Amino acid sequence: MDSALGPPDAMAEKRDELTPMMRQYHDLCARYDDALVLFQVGDFYETFCEAAERSARLLEITLTSREDSTGEYPMAGIPIDNAESYVETLLEAGYRVAVADQVEEPEESSGVVERAVTRVITPGTLTEDELLAGDDNNFVAAIARDGDDLALSFLDVSTGDFLATSSTASESIADEVSRFAPSEAVVGPDAPADLFPEDCMVTPFDARAFDRDRAGEKVSTYFRNPDALLASEAEIRASGALLSYAEYVRGGDHEGERGDGDGSEDGDHDADATGDGVDTVLGDGTSQRLEYITHLTRYDPREYLLLDAVALRSLELFEPRAVHGRDDATLVGVLDETASALGGRKLRDWLRRPLLDPDRIAARHDAVEELTEAVQQRERLHDRLRDVYDLERLIGRISRERANARDLRSLRDTLAGVPGLREGLADADCERLQDLHGALDPLADVRDLIDDAIVADPPIEITEGGVIAEGYDDDLDDLRDTARDGKRWIDDLEASERDRTGIDSLKVGYNSVHGYYIEVTNPNLDAVPENYQRRQTLKNSERFVTPELKTREDEIVGAEERADQREYELFRKTRREVAAEVERVQALADAIATLDALVSLATVAAQYDYCRPEILDRGGHGGHDGTDDGLVIDVEGGRHPVVERTQESFVPNDARFDPDRRLAVITGPNMSGKSTYMRQVAQIVLLAQIGSFVPARSARLTPVDRIFTRVGASDDIAGGRSTFMVEMDELATILREADEGALVLLDEVGRGTSTADGLAIAQAITEHIHDEVGATTLFATHHHPLTELATDLPAAFTLHFEVDQRDGEVVFHHEIAPGAATGSYGVEVATAAGIPESVVDRSRELVAEAADDTDDPSVESTAELSPEVASGDDPGGGQATADGGDVPTDVAAELRALDLAHLTPVEALTELDRLKRLLEE
């Protein structure tokens, strides 16, 4: 982002000479110098000078100019009614946006209309539905350091979700950043900003907000004693600073409804907008407390299954790995049958933080099982949940005084459906569903308040009347009666005046400029009574008013204006009364969200034949007795939950691991199913620990503390790291942090270097994991010598995927079996991928030549199954080159290491050409 914001240079030099309105703009730019200021002028948000030039380019809008006595200034504006789409573009370009609204009516101003920044819009603090991407949480984070402690706080400003944690290990903090994926972060003094990814906006913020005393005072204004709530000084610093930042971006104590006004700049009134924006929040106490932030949850990452950024990507929890893959080809995509935004967020939170406690896991399983079996009950609940609005964001808008009357009716409609949800759980057997039944508070008093106060179908605007129901307020009813009586008198006036004057064409009308009038055409002007007073002359008629009509007009207009103002006051009062029940609404929202997520899991389980997993303790027994004898993963007929949805058929496979059989070396050709199988095991474990049923015939599982993955090839060119270096970094993390409670997935370790080095690294890592780490490990490899480790390492064993070759084509069975594979079939897979026949033929020759010089069964079996070799028509002459010489062992080794399934045709030809030159040398 171009950070050269702040007041325009052209204005800064002559600030005191500027017109009052332009001085206002200058001072707001100075106060919010980290943001692009959108300055309301009538029906538009305007920018000036450098900001206008940037806006015109980015938003593709017309660049105009404004000229006054002090000079000419570039100007570009966007319509207020369609501002969201333009703001979204500015955010995507890396800008923060400060919205400066008119905060008084033009007719009430003695000079320039006062403006103030009512909110600062940043990627992590969005509350506008139009700007929020989907129903998932949108977090802003704060990171603070205190001694060796690092702390993170996360806040969703749109819902009020607020969490904090800390650790002395930066790796642990980085894992939490990956888990919650904040879109913005504020960083305290000496805290590492590089723990946040590139797509997370790092926002400068006053270091004083992270001061221990100031931060502690801020936390205490929202919650109890921060020392009792949070576990470290660093957590207090991070949480207090994040609250200060959230108040800052909400724009002080100005609320959201503003008159449009005409932007008049006449007069000498000058809004005082000087000073530092952060000082306003931290110093003078004018910031607005965000009443809907009612809970701060302090958690320990070790209370949940840990998933770092690598595992999140590899297991495709939220984003598909394939660039052109289906957007729904993710774990959340196949699980999410929720009916409400609340349920969708809850389900994603469960996936981010799978449980470790067997009792908590079993409680969710009990609920899912009961809902799975009770088909009609589940379907009725799902139908009723469809009518639930996003209560968390609704009550947030209500508390921020940005909700309109339709928002209140949406809250009322959701509350009206709560008794039906309670009825659906009235006969629940399991404790979790019984607890939810009790937590579903219908808030009958809140529902009745909205019912009594707000009309059933209110307008969007809340300042123009028609919002408050008849009979709610006697004063309002009197004003409405006065206005209605006056309008009835005017309705009768036309007929009575026609009778009195004899002018059949006489009309009584109204316009907003001249008010009520009596219109008489020119040919009838001679018949106009003496008490008619001329009000307006038109081409073909004259308009008149009578003293009595003027009196009635004053009564009607006065009553309507007072009624509109009274309605607005009553609406705001009602909204404040509803906001006072924010904690009850949030508790109800949490209960509905939990119910929706459980119904979703039950729906998926019933529709796709999932089974309830048995959760074991570390001793391998059901329940939890505190023993710790290692992991058990015993899955019969397991399926990959995502892949089975995208394939016409899927072959189930078993997975059996225990402390005595915890390291599987898996071999087989590319495309046979090794990677799918490994991810399948991890996803089944993860599903079980969020409380879901799993895609299998049966499953017995010990809760896993952490899942590590080293899967797939990737590089970090910008960071100066090759594919091999990225692989080694990920392996180093695994070897450093994994233990006997972890599940480790390794795919083709050591592939990015020479065959000898790669094999050595792979073997050493396997031995270390077996002997020192003790993690349950699935290791897929083409290094067939590694299968011999099964005889050397007592807890290691081999698995393989076999294939057949029919008519020269490879047939994959996707079935896993004990033992090592007899071949890699790389050449055959290359054929299936469309490698040119001449390349494939030459590859077969080279493989056959190398076969006699190696004991690797994968090379031998592939050569044996190659048609040319099998028929004895090998033009290469066994292990000899074309000129009769022996194949050097290093060339043969490189040939064996070639992974043709991952080479493009051009890359394959390049490799073959290089090897050919080596042979010739």
Give residue 851's pLDDT band: very low, low, confident or very high (50, 70, 90).
low
Q: Residue 51: is its pLDDT beyond 90? A: yes
For residue 710, name the pLDDT band (cuts at 50, 70, 90).
confident
> For residue range 107-123, what is the model confidence (pLDDT) as tens digits?
777 778 899 998 899 99
Prediction pTM value: 0.83
Task: Please state, rounded to an integer, the average pLDDT across all residues of the chain.
Answer: 84
Taking alpha carbons only, the member of 44, 41, 2 closest to residue 24 is 41
Nearest in space to 772 (alpha carbons), one of 739, 727, 733: 739
Q: Which residues of 181-190 are buried (b: 16+ CB within 10 A; e: fewer)?
A: bbbbbbbbee
278 pLDDT above the threshold of 50:
no
Residues 739-754 pLDDT 10s: 999 999 998 776 666 6
| Residues 6+ positions from 12 with CB-CB distance below 8 Å | 26
Give the Å distances, CA to CA, from 850 to 398, 455, 824, 869, 882: 74, 85, 14, 12, 13
Q: Say if CB 630 and CB 774 are below 8 A apart.
A: yes
> Which of the residue ranges 224-238, 432-446, 881-895 would you say has the lowest mean pLDDT?
881-895
Homologous superfamily, domain 614-805: P-loop containing nucleotide triphosphate hydrolases (3.40.50.300)
Kindly indicate the confidence band of residue 913, based on its pLDDT and cuts at 50, 70 and 90.
low
> Would you state the pLDDT for residue 256?
41
pLDDT at res. 377: 95
**Mean of the pLDDT values across residues 841-860?**
61
Same fold yes or no, 140-252+288-301 and 336-394+405-440+582-606: no
CATH architecture of 336-394+405-440+582-606: Orthogonal Bundle (1.10)
**Angle formed at CA 322 by CA 320 and CA 323, multiple of 5 degrees:** 105
pLDDT above 80: residue 838: no
For 9-129+256-282, give the CATH class: alpha beta
pLDDT of 918 above 50: yes
With CA atoms as reference, report the closest residue to 564 among 455, 464, 458: 464
pLDDT of residue 110: 72
Summarize pLDDT for 346-358 with one digit per residue, the tens.
Answer: 999 999 999 999 9
In three state form, how does the secondary structure of 674-734 look? HHHHHHHHHHHHHHHHHCCCECCCEEEECCCCEEEEECCCCCECCCCECHHHHHHHHHHHH
Sheet with 633-638, edge to edge strand ranges: 614-615, 698-701, 633-638, 653-657
Predicted pLDDT at 407: 96
Top-confidence residue, 901 or 70: 70
Beta-carbon count within 10 A of 771 CB = 11
In whole angstroms, what is the distance from residue 267 CA to residue 252 CA?
26
Distances (CA, A) of 206 to 64, 177, 276, 315: 36, 22, 10, 39
Secondary structure E strands in 122-221: 140-146, 149-155, 162-167, 184-187, 201-203
* The predicted structure's pLDDT at residue 280: 36
Residue-wise pLDDT for 58-94, tens only, equals: 999 999 999 888 888 999 999 998 899 999 999 999 9
Residue 237 has pLDDT above 80, yes or no: yes
Cα separations (Å) of 815 from 287, 783, 832? 63, 20, 20
CATH of domain 140-252+288-301: 3.30.420.110
- Answer yes or no: is pLDDT of 369 > 50: yes
Domain positions in the chain are 9-129+256-282, 140-252+288-301, 336-394+405-440+582-606, 474-566, 614-805, 826-920
What percent of the chain is modeled with pLDDT above 90?
Answer: 61
Q: What is the pLDDT of residues 156-193, one digit of tens each?
A: 999 999 999 999 999 899 999 999 999 999 999 999 99
Looking at 1.10.1420.10, 1.10.150.20, 2.10.60.10, 3.40.630.40, the CATH number of the domain 474-566 comes to 1.10.1420.10
pLDDT at position 414 over 80: yes
**DSSP-assigned letter for residue 878:** T
Give me the DSSP letters along 261-324: ------SS------S-HHHHHHTSS-SPP-TT----EE--GGGB-EE-HHHHHHTTSSS-SSTT
